[in-house]
């Protein structure tokens, strides 16, 4: 309680003259508002401190990317609420004031968006001096984003029939336009919307059915699922061609992630896998566009990787999963032995796990040594492969050699059965692959690009829980391949899928299928 409030309780205001009493009450109200603002400021300071902890604090490394984004959203929402409260409850007179415009990320309103102008005229154009009507000398314009919930509409196709009044030679009528689902309910745009909602926005079809029902449109989830299946079938050749295109490269990434699948025979789920095969040469200015294909397999056996990579010869960047070892053998099926580039991010992660748990000084030193490699990579990102290779030979190779000596020395000191010993042994087992990036400027230091492309699969897995069947897992991988490839090429997925499905419905020639690859399609606005 403030001193003024305490004094006010002891003071009998009724003995004061009216003017003094009103002034004292106004002073009390101002003091109360100031106290409220002080509490708001304290709350803001606390929220900003928490936000900084999420962004910069050590604990942020323990959060997944999705967890961090959720933390950002909720904390930023709370900060905005507190700021608005502070703005609204600021002491002062009752005169309406123009709110300060936030300078942080106001968003972007593209020129192509439809604009509806609302002109607000003054109540009167008569000059206050009585000398006549005022003339327009300018105007102020302000733009705000308005959102109308997704609008469903019905496309009515009318085909008039014509006949001759004189003869009876027949009736003429235009043919029905080609549809992806002949005689079906959806347009290609409706199908594309369901695909993007399911595989890009992670909305299972039963939730989409519920959303449509709120607009008065009763479409059962089984019908939506049927649309997805038809689209997956027709998009299959495009995905197959995308995979062929990727495998003509001489350097690719590969990773795998779980894809839970319902096992009807047991009434529960089993663990399937989506194997991501990706190309991303943007870090060194490669000419080939980036792309990714997700192959579904019911298990994680290495023979699946061998099958998916049939026809590929070159360098494969991946983690330390031993199932890939068969790809390096002379008797590899489907191509020459593959040269493996292992991932320093995984090596670092092993040491980080030990350091976070035990505070190991050996793990801490290993982390500092690896950080020196990444400092060089940050300097050479985006330059030509030859320049990257020269910089690595001059700056990184001595650091890696020193790390190798340090690694062997620590393995002699540490028990092989200890937690740290196991992590050091992991790095030792993959030592040759960890040095591949020192001999080719196109190779990355880690496989993070493909790990980023696996993340949307994990998001869909969390929302959809599981695929209903192995065939559903294949459709999942097929459509996700096109959506994610479109996204990393800067192509809007809905516009791409709509244009591609329309082209397929119009019997796009098989010998021109490359025109339907995501980086080649130019959807109309």
Please give the residue that has the higher pLDDT: either 143 or 375.
375
Residue 170 included in any domain: no
**pTM of the full predicted structure?**
0.76
Comparing 12-16, 270-274, 373-377, 477-481, the range with the smallest average pLDDT is 12-16
Query: Pick from 446, 463, 489: which residue ends a domain?
Result: 446
**153 is a domain residue:** no
- The number of residues in the chain equals 525
* 391 belongs to a structural domain: yes
Q: Within 10 Å of residue 222's Cβ, how many Cβ atoms?
A: 10
Q: Quick one: 483 and 406 in the same domain?
A: no
Percentage of residues of the chain with pLDDT beyond 90? 36
Same domain, 330 and 348: no
Per-position DSSP letters for 13-68, written without gaps between them? GGGS-HHHHHHHHHHHHHHHHHHHHHHHHHHHHHHHHHHHHHHHSGGGGGS-HHHH
- 363 domain-assigned: yes
Both 490 and 434 in a single domain?
no
Inform me whether the pLDDT recorded for 238 exceeds 90: yes
The mean per-residue pLDDT over the stretch 453-460 comes to 65
Domain assignment present for 162:
no
Number of domains in the chain: 3
Q: How far lies 6's CA from each of 2, 13, 28, 124, 406, in Å?
A: 6, 13, 11, 52, 69
Show the domain range for 25: 3-51+74-88
252 and 334 together in one domain: yes
Same domain, yes or no: 355 and 326: no
Single out the residue in 388, 412, 446 at which a domain terminates. Answer: 446
| Residues 208 and 300 occupy one common structural domain | yes
Q: Are residues 412 and 368 in the same domain?
A: yes
Strand, coil or helix: what is 368? helix
* pLDDT reported for residue 101: 44
What distance in Å separates the CA atoms of residue 328 and residue 446, rounded to the nearest whole number? 19
Residue 431 in any domain: the answer is: yes
Q: Among 130-139, 398-407, 474-483, which is the least confidently predicted range?
A: 130-139
Q: In this predicted model, which residue has the larger pLDDT, 108 or 498?
A: 498
Q: Are residues 273 and 301 in the same domain?
A: yes
**Does 313 map to a domain?**
yes
* pLDDT tens digit sequence for 319-348: 878 888 888 888 888 888 999 999 999 999
Indicate if 355 and 320 belong to the same structural domain: no
Is residue 353 domain-shared with residue 441, that is, in the same domain? yes
User: Does residue 305 sit within a domain?
Assistant: yes
Same domain, 236 and 318: yes
Per residue in 63-120, pLDDT (tens digit) is 555 555 555 555 555 555 566 556 666 555 554 444 444 444 445 677 878 888 888 8
pLDDT of 358 reads 86
């Amino acid at each position: 309680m403030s001193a003024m409030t305490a004094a006010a309780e002891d003071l009998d205001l009724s003995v004061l003259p009216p003017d003094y009493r009103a002034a004292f009450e106004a002073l009390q109200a101002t003091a109360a508002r100031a106290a409220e603002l002080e509490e708001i400021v304290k709350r803001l300071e606390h929220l900003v401190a928490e936000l900084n902890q999420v962004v910069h604090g050590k604990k942020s490394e323990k959060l997944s990317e999705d967890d961090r984004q959720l933390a950002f959203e909720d904390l930023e929402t709370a900060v905005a609420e507190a700021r608005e409260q502070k703005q609204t409850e600021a002491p002062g007179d009752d005169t309406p004031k123009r709110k300060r415009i936030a300078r942080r990320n106001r968003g972007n309103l593209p020129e192509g968006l439809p604009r509806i102008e609302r002109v607000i005229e003054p109540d009167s154009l008569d000059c206050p001096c009585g000398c006549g009507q005022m003339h327009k000398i300018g105007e102020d314009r302000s733009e705000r984003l308005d959102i109308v919930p997704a609008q469903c509409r019905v496309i009515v196709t009318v085909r008039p029939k014509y006949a001759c009044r004189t003869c009876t030679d027949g009736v003429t009528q235009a043919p029905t336009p080609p549809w992806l689902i002949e005689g079906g309910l959806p347009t290609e745009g409706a199908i594309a919307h369901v695909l993007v909602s399911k595989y890009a926005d992670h909305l299972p079809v039963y939730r989409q059915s519920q959303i449509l029902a709120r607009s008065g449109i009763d479409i059962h989830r089984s019908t939506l699922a049927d649309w997805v299946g038809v689209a997956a079938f027709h998009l299959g050749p495009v995905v197959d061609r995308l995979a062929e295109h990727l495998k003509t490269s001489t350097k690719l990434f590969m990773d795998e992630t779980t894809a839970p699948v319902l096992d009807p025979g047991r009434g529960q789920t089993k663990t399937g896998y989506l194997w991501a095969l990706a190309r991303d040469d943007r870090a060194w200015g490669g000419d080939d566009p980036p792309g990714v294909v997700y192959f579904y397999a019911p298990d994680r056996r290495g023979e699946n990787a061998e099958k998916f990579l049939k026809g590929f010869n070159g360098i494969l960047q991946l983690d330390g999963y031993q199932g890939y070892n068969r790809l390096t053998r002379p008797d590899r099926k489907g191509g020459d032995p593959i040269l493996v580039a292992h991932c320093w991010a995984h090596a670092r992660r092993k040491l980080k796990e030990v350091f976070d748990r035990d505070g190991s000084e050996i793990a801490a030193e290993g982390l500092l040594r690896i950080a020196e490699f990444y400092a060089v990579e940050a300097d050479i990102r985006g330059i030509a492969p030859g320049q990257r290779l020269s910089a690595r030979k001059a700056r990184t190779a001595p650091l890696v050699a020193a790390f190798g000596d340090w690694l062997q020395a620590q393995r002699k000191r540490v028990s092989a059965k200890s937690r740290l010993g196991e992590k050091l042994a992991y790095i030792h087992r993959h030592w040759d692959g960890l040095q591949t990036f020192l001999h080719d400027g196109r190779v990355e230091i880690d496989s993070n690009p493909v790990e980023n492309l696996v993340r949307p699969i994990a998001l869909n897995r969390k929302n959809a829980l599981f695929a209903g069947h192995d065939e559903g897992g294949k459709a999942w991988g097929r459509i996700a391949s096109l959506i994610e490839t479109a996204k990393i090429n800067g192509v809007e997925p809905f516009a791409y899928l709509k244009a591609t499905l329309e082209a397929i419905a119009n019997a796009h020639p098989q010998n021109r299928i490359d025109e339907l690859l995501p980086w080649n399609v130019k959807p109309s606005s």
